[in-house]
Amino acid sequence: MNIFVCISNVPDTTTRIKYKPGNKEVDYTGVQWIINPWDELALTRAIELKEANQAAIQKITVITVGKADAEPTLRKALAIGADDAIRVDVAPEDAYTTAVQLAEVLKSEKDALILSGVESSDFNSWSVGGMLAELLDAPSVSAVSSLNIEAGNVVVTREIEGGKQTITTTIPSVLIVQKGIAIIPRIPSMRGIMTARTKPLKVVQGIASQPMVKVLDYQAPAQKSSCRMIDPENIEELIDLLHREARVI
Amino acid sequence: MNFEFTEEQLMIQQAARDYAQRELIQDVIERDTHSIYPSKHVKALAELGFMGMMVSPEYDGSGMDTISYVLAMEEISKIDASTSVIMSVNNSLVCYGIEHFGTEEQKQKYLRPLARGEKIGAFLLSEPEAGSDATSQRTTAEDKGDYYLLNGTKNWITNGNTAGTYLVIAQTHPEKGHKGINVLIVDRDSAGISVGPHEDKMGMRSSDTHSVMFTDVKVPKENRIGEDGFGFKFAMKTLEGGRIGIAAQALGLASGAMERSIKYAQERKAFGIEIAKHQSVAFKIAEMAIKVENARNLCLKAAWLKDQGKPYGYASAMAKYYAAEAAMWITTEAVQIHGGYGYVKEYHVERLMREAKLTQIYEGTSEIQKIVISRELLHIH
- The pLDDT of residue A232 is above 90: no
Is the pLDDT assigned to residue A53 strictly greater than 70?
Answer: yes
Overall domain count for chain B: 3
SS3 of residue A55 by DSSP: coil
Report pLDDT digits (tens) over A122-162.
Answer: 888 889 999 999 999 999 999 999 999 998 889 999 989 99
Query: pLDDT at position A243, please?
Result: 87
Has residue B255 been placed in a domain? Answer: yes
* Residue where a domain stops, chosen among B120, B143, B161: B120
The reply to whether B356 falls in a domain is yes
Contact state of B48 with A187 under an 8 Å Cβ cutoff? yes
B25, B75: one domain: yes
Domains of chain A, CATH where assigned: 2-214 (3.40.50.620)
Same-domain pairing of B365 and B262: yes
Strand partners, B193: B214
CATH number, domain of B68, equals: 1.10.540.10
Which residues have CB under 8 Å from B68's CB, separation 6+? B8, B9, B12, B13, B53
pLDDT band for position A71 (cuts 50, 70, 90): very high
| Domain boundary, last residue among B120, B136, B158 | B120
pLDDT value of position A225: 67
Q: Are B327 and B319 in contact (CB under 8 A)?
A: no
Please indicate if any CB of chain A lies within 8 Å of the CB of B10.
Answer: yes
ipTM: 0.86
B108 touches chain A (CB under 8 A): no
Q: Which of B4, B8, B341 is the mutation pick for testing A, counting most A CBs within 10 A?
A: B8
C-beta atoms of A189 and B47 within 8 A: yes
* pLDDT over threshold 80, residue A223: no
pLDDT recorded at residue A189: 96
The residues, any chain, with a CB within 8 Å of residue B229's CB and separated by 6 or more, are B172, B173, B176, B179, B180, B181, B182
In a domain, B358, yes or no: yes
Return the CATH number at B220.
2.40.110.10
Predicted local confidence at residue B59, as pLDDT: 98
For A169-196, write each residue's pLDDT tens digit.
999 999 999 999 999 999 999 999 999 9
Domain that holds residue B101: 7-120
CB contact under 8 A, A188 and B53: no
| pLDDT tens digits, A4-43 | 999 999 998 888 888 999 898 889 998 989 999 999 999 9
Within 8 A of A226 by CB-CB distance, chain B residues are 266-267, 269, 274
Does the distance separating the beta carbons of A75 and B11 come in below 8 Å?
A: yes
For the segment A60-78, the average pLDDT, to the nearest whole number, is: 97
Tens digit of each residue's pLDDT (9 = 90 or more) over A76-117: 999 999 999 999 999 999 999 999 999 999 999 999 999 999
* pLDDT for residue A226: 65
User: How far is residue B178's CA from residue B171's CA, in Å, rounded to a whole number?
Assistant: 8
pLDDT of A200: 98
Residue B206: per-residue pLDDT: 96
CA dist B242 and B316 (Å) reads 9
Question: Residue ranges of chain B with pLDDT lower than 50?
Answer: none
User: What was the pLDDT predicted at B131?
Assistant: 82
